Amino acid sequence: MKNSNYNHLTNEEKSVIELKGTESPFSGEYDNFYATGTYVCRRCDAVLYNSVDKFDAQCGWPAFDKEVTGAVSKNPDPDGFRIEITCTNCESHLGHVFIGEKLTSTNTRHCVNSLSLKFVQGVSS
């Protein structure tokens, strides 16, 4: 998992990305943020989400109803209840995915830590 080509992470970013922590709700820079562009993995810069797929779930974290195809892996969370989402490229912890809430037409909510993401301004891919 360690790679010298990864971006430098602060201790706070490491606690979320490497130790699978969660930032406090409503504290992340991308929670209430709706510019046009793409969201990439903070550790490896892989493209994960497009801004057109972001929505206001009022949950306290950035929410997306779909990921860039193949960019996000889904695995059972150790808690036995949730599905963890990670960057397919580097295995960074992103957050969790929830199905069946009926918040969007895809019936899916990727609840992502802002600390796991970087925003790249411009046209969504």
**pLDDT per residue over 63-95, tens digit each?**
999 999 999 999 998 888 999 999 999 999 999
53, 65, 60: which is closest to 99 by C-alpha? 65
pLDDT at 42: 98
Establish how many alpha carbons lie within 13 A of residue 68's alpha carbon, considering only the half-sphere containing its beta carbon. 18
Residue 121 sits at φ, ψ, to 5 deg, of: -65, 145
The number of residues making up the chain comes to 125
Query: pTM of the prediction?
Result: 0.93
Q: Across residues 52-71, what is the average pLDDT?
A: 97
2 pLDDT band, cuts 50/70/90, is: low
How much is the average pLDDT of 88-105? 96
CA distance 111 to 1: 23
Encoded amino acid at 6, one letter? Y
Domains and CATH numbers, the chain: 11-121 (2.170.150.20)
Which pLDDT does position 125 carry in this prediction?
61
Residues annotated catalytic, as ranges = 111
| The two three-digit tokens of residue 77, written as one number | 């969370």
